[in-house]
Amino acid sequence: MLHIVDDEDVVRDSLSWLAQSRGIAARSYADGAGFLEAAGGGFDTEGDCVLLDVRMPGMNGVAVFDQLTVRGLAARLPVIFLTGHGDVPMAVDALKRGAFDFFEKPFNDNQLMDRVQEALAQSRRAGEAAAVQARLESLSAREREVLDLIMAGKMNKVIADELGISMRTVEVHRAHIFDKMQVKTAVELAGLLK
Partner 1 sequence: MLTGPWRWLVPVLLVLLLVSVVLWAPWQARQMESTERQEQLIADTLWVEQTIRFELTRNEDAMAALAADLSGGAVPDLRARLDALMRNGHELRRVLWMDAEGNVTASTAPGSLAPPSPSPEMRAALSLAHSSGRAMYMPPVGVHMDYYVPVRRNGIYIGGLIATYNLGTLLEEMVPWWFAHENQVSLTDRDEHVLARRAAAGPGRGVYTHKHPMDLPGATIILATDSVKSAPRLLPNMLVGSVVALAVALLASLAALWRHINRRLAAEGALRQQMAFRTAMENSLVTGLRARDLEGRITYVNPAFCDIVGLPADEIVGRAPPMPYWAPEAMSEYQQRFAGVLAGNVTPQFETIYQRSDGSRVPVLIFEAPLVDAEGRQTGWMGSILDISDRKRAEELARQQQEKLQASARLATMGEMASMLAHELNQPLAAISSYTTGALNLLDGGKPVEPNLIQRALEQARVQAQRAGQIIRSVHEFVKKREPQRRPVDLFQLTEGLRTLIELQARRHFVVFDNAIPGGLPPVLADRMMIEQVLLNLTRNAIDAMADTDPAQRVLRLWAEHEDGMITVCVADRGTGIPAEVAERLFSPFFSTKSEGMGMGLSVCRTAVEFHGGTLTHAPNPGGGTVFQFTLPVANNEEA
Question: Site residues (CB under 8 A) for partner 1?
Answer: 8, 10-11, 13-15, 17-18, 20-22, 57-58, 84-86, 105-107, 109-110
Q: 13 or 188: whose CB is closer to partner 1?
A: 13
Measured CA to CA, the distance from residue 80 to residue 53 in angstroms comes to: 9
Residue 102: closest CA among 87, 122, 117: 87
Minimum distance, C-beta of residue 97 to partner 1, in the bound complex (Å)? 24
Strand bridging mode 2-5 / 26-29: parallel
Distance CA(93)–CA(138), nearest Å, equals 38
Q: Rounded to the nearest whole angstrom, what is the least distance from the CB of residue 110 to partner 1 in the complex? A: 6
Give me the sign of the Cα torsion angle 108, 109, 113, 119. Answer: positive
Query: Could you tell me the smallest distance in angstroms from the CB atom of residue 11 to partner 1?
Result: 6
> Residue 165 and residue 160: Cα distance in Å, rounded?
5
User: Shortest Cβ distance from residue 100 to partner 1 (Å)?
Assistant: 19
